[in-house]
Structures are given as C-alpha cells and as structure tokens.
Chain A
Amino acid sequence: MVSGIVSYGVYIPNYRIRLQEIARVWGEGEDISESLQVFEKSVPDMDEDAVTIAVEAARTALMRADLDPCRIGAIYVGSESHPYAVKPTGTIVGEAICTSSDFTAADFEFACKAGTAAIQACLGLVSSNLIDLGLAIGSDVSQGAPGDMLEYTAAAGGAAFVIGRDNLVAEIEGFFSFTTDTPDFWRREGMPYPEHGGRFTGEPAYFKHIISAARGLMERLGTDPEDYDYAVFHQPNGKFPMRVATKLGFSREQIEPGLVVPFIGNTYSGSCLIGLAATLDVAKPGEKIFVTSFGSGAGSDAFSITVKHRIEDIRCRAPSVRDYIANGRYLDYAMYAKHKNKLRL
C-alpha cells in the first residue's frame, strides 16, 4: 500500500530577535552567531503557544489541498511545550479545524522528534486502511533559561502534515528508527526550563542517532546519498546538520533548501518538519528527499520520500516557509523577555 503526504502547512510566528541582541545582554561576544551558524530566531507573540501554532499550521495544510476535515481519523501532535500537562492539544486542534468527532487523538512527546513520531503513527493507520487521513503535527514554543546557551536558539514554530493514500504530493517509501536511553537533554515535571549535558549533546546523542537511523534506512532500501536530491536533518543550530550531512556523504547543496535554522532558530518538534516543508516548497516531481529527525533522550527517525506531480497543483495555494521567514518583525531583549514571560511580576 502506497502512502505519504497529501498536504502540508507551516506556521512561524511573526517576531524575531537577533542573536547579537541576546549576546549583548549577557556580555557574550558577537561571534556566537558565527559559531552556532544561527543569526536570528523566531519569538512567539504573548498570546501564542504550541496549540495556536499547531492550529495555524493545520488550517494551512487543509487549505493548501482543499481537504474536507471530516476525513481526518487521527490527530497526533508532537511537542515538548504542550500547554496542558493533562488535556490533549489534539482535542483543541480538532475543534479548531472543524473535524467531525469521529477521530482518535493523543499528544506525543519525544523532545525534538515528537512530530516525526506522529507521522509514523499516522502512516501505520493509513497504510493499514484503518483511517482515511491522519494529521501529524510538530509544534513548539521552546524555552531556554535566561543566559543559558539554549536561549540563543530556542525558537517557536510548527508544521502539519496530512498523511493519506490518494492524491499524494509525496510518497513515503519507508522509515527507520534508532532509539536508545541517552540522557543528553531533559526536563523534569514541573520545571520551567530544560537541562542539558553540554557537549554530551553532540557525538553520543545527535550524531550517533542520526547517523545510525540514516544508514539503517539507506541499507534497508539499498539507496545511497547520491540517490537523493535533497536532505533534511534536525537543526538545533546551523553547524550540526552540516556536519552530519558531510559525515553521511550528503553535500551542502542537498541540505541548503531545507536549512531554515539560521533564520528562525531551533523550533524543536517543528525543526525537521519545517525543513521538509521548505524542501517541498521547491522540489520538482520525481525528486527524492531524505529526512532524519533527532529527539533527545534519545532517538532518530529517518524517512525516504519521493515527490509526486500533485505538488505543482497545490504548492502555491498557501504561504511557503520562505514567505514566513521574510515576514519577520524585530524585538529588542526587553520586549523579547516580555513576550516569553521571562519577567516575573
């Protein structure tokens, strides 16, 4: 059974802060942007959260392919910033996009790869004919403690993918996951900001998991990096995806169209999915995309995707990732602190 992406939509908040501005406040050198390869990051408005971002992305995905929301049989939302600890984000998304009540929903949590885990769950239900369409969303308003390194990149954004069997814009040929118990990054219940293992987040976490999942999938499918026109890797900063691409044998040209982190920061569950959306915004029918997410804790999901002719019919019916990137308004650190609720009144 062939299944894949029927439509997609993204949402990136309107506000931006330059990394230079954060560095100025904390007395860091301006070379921080250069070393992270991130120049600005998105900031949510005071009335935006992972739910509102998920809803905007989902509405855009439905509009792009003019889909009847009543066809949706499952809504899975991946996030590490679900606003309720108990009350699923998916219930609010369903109501806001006018689905029927005949759908299943659950919130997913797996650091930055909860959104790709949601796609896998939808693929399972769709491929086995248990549902018509599934809606998988990755959405986050991630937080870094003031002055922590995470504060330079923790951003907000999301992407929604409608998974189905007919009228595909892209076929998903297969996926491969790699999961271990690695404590590189975590947040305990009730704590406002996550903790991380510093340099430990690199080799044993990000690189090991992405490389293992990516190689596993290429081995299973008998493909090589040269068989793909584009590649998208999780983007915690601008350096890591470039380095992991090189290690695996992918080129800068392959990852460039989907590399959005320099302009919007790390959108966590949205990161890899916004990168995939940016790639679908430019890919031609017949081209192949290799995608690998990473979530701390830790795990990676790799996907092999082939773009179909239908992409050309629906691509222009909704804003592209580059449209959102171009539409930013800049904040200074004081306004940013107000937006992120970092001021305790």
Chain B
Amino acid sequence: MTTNAPRFWRCIPQRYNLIGTHCRSCGEYIFPPRNLCPTCRRVAELEEYRFKGTGTVITHTTIYNATEDFERQTPYDLAIIQLDEGPRVTGQIVSCPEVKIGMRVRPVFRILGKEGDRGIIYYGTKFAPLADFSYESEKSLSKK
C-alpha cells in the first residue's frame, strides 16, 4: 500500500502542538511554520514558537459530504480560527452542538484521519469550546 507516513511525520510538531514561528525582529507570529518572515525578509530573527491554541472563531461551515477518510464523521463543523497570537488556522470544531462566530475555543488532541484500515493514523489538533469547563482559566491553559 502507499503511505504518506514521511509527509505526516514531518508535520507532527505543528499538528500535535501547534509549533509555528515567531519573528523576534518584527514580533510577528507565523503558522504554519516558515523559514522566512514575510515582513523582515533577510533581517528576520526566527525562532520556534508553540502557540497556546486558544482562539476565536472567525467563520465556520458544516461539511455534509467529505472524502472517504472523513465520511463517517459527517456532518462536522469546520472553522477558521484566529489564534490569540494572531495567525488564522482552519480546524475542526468538536464537542459543540452549535458553533457561533466569536466563540472562544481551546485545542484538543484528536484523530485527524486514517490511511484506511491498514495504514497509519494521523493525530493532531482540533478545537472545542473553551466554555466547557468554566473554572478553566485562560492562564492555566497557556501552560498546557
């Protein structure tokens, strides 16, 4: 069988822990990670940065027809989320009966897809409502 294992493996840090890039010269946060700052170009000072994963839903849609890997999960909610550090990411929203624009979300670890019954399992980050556990302060989440 064909496998995307090498490609998946290279993306593990960004998928599991939202590891992106921070430019120390202009302060910009970049996700997915890049080895170039679009603003500073040659004078950029780049470092690895782990995003907190908390953010706000900018827009969302419900997917009813999906590719084979996802068809069991339909319907599911896909959203564009603005991470608190700035960049926007596309991610699935789980554990939420009604997604709303402006909703606060937190990262959760889930299965993103599988290479059929025999191939590897892709794990990574999805998002759930932050309000699920009201006592959970955003400060403690940033350490998680």
Residues on A facing B (Cβ under 8 Å): 14, 45-49, 51-52, 55-56, 59-60, 62-63, 66, 83-84, 92, 95-96, 98, 316-319, 323, 327, 329, 338, 341, 345
Contact = CB atoms under 8 A, between A and B. Distances in A.
Contact of A56 (B73, B109, B111, B140): B109
A320 to B, nearest CB: 9
Contacts of A66: 143
B135 A47 contact: no
B98 to A, nearest CB: 12
Contacts of B108: 56
Given A49-B111, A59-B144, A95-B12, A316 B126 contact: no
Given A47-B111, A96-B109, 19 more contacts: A45-B110, A46-B72, A46-B73, A47-B73, A47-B110, A47-B112, A47-B126, A49-B111, A52-B110, A55-B123, A59-B109, A59-B144, A63-B140, A63-B143, A83-B121, A95-B12, A319-B133, A319-B136, A323-B135
Interface residues of B, number: 26
A96 B123 contact: yes
Contact of A329 (B97, B110, B111): B97
A48 B95 CA distance: 11
A139 B120 CA distance: 20
9 contacts: A14-B132, A45-B94, A47-B73, A56-B108, A63-B140, A84-B121, A96-B123, A323-B135, A327-B132
B110 A48 contact: yes
Interface in B73-95: 73, 92, 94-95
A107 B1 CA distance: 26
B33 to A, nearest CB: 15
B77 to A, nearest CB: 12
B136 A48 contact: no
B5 to A, nearest CB: 11
Nearest to B124: A96
A98 B17 CA distance: 8
B129 to A, nearest CB: 10
A62 B109 CA distance: 15
Nearest to B16: A96
Interface of B is mostly: mixed
A73 to B, nearest CB: 20
A48 B16 contact: no
Nearest to B133: A319
Given A45-B110, A63-B144, A96-B16, A338 B72 contact: yes
Contacts of B97: 329
Contacts of B72: 46, 338, 341, 345
User: Which among A45, A49, A323 has the greatest number of chain B C-beta atoms within 10 A?
Assistant: A45
A118 B133 CA distance: 29
B133 A323 contact: yes
Contact of B109 (A52, A327, A338): A52
A325 B20 CA distance: 34
Nearest to A92: B123
Contacts of A95: 12, 16
B109 to A, nearest CB: 4
Contacts of A49: 111, 121
B28 to A, nearest CB: 23
A52 B140 contact: no
Nearest to B17: A98
A329 B123 CA distance: 24
Interface in B94-130: 94-95, 97, 108-112, 121, 123, 126
A327 B73 CA distance: 22
Nearest to B110: A47
Contacts of B132: 14, 327
A56 B109 CA distance: 7
A-B pairs, top 7 by smallest CB distance, nearest first, are A47-B110, A47-B111, A55-B109, A63-B144, A14-B95, A96-B16, A46-B73
A52 B111 contact: yes
A139 to B, nearest CB: 12
B133 A47 contact: no
A32 B72 CA distance: 31
A341 B72 CA distance: 8
B70 to A, nearest CB: 9
B17 to A, nearest CB: 6
Interface string B1-28: 0000000000010001100000000000
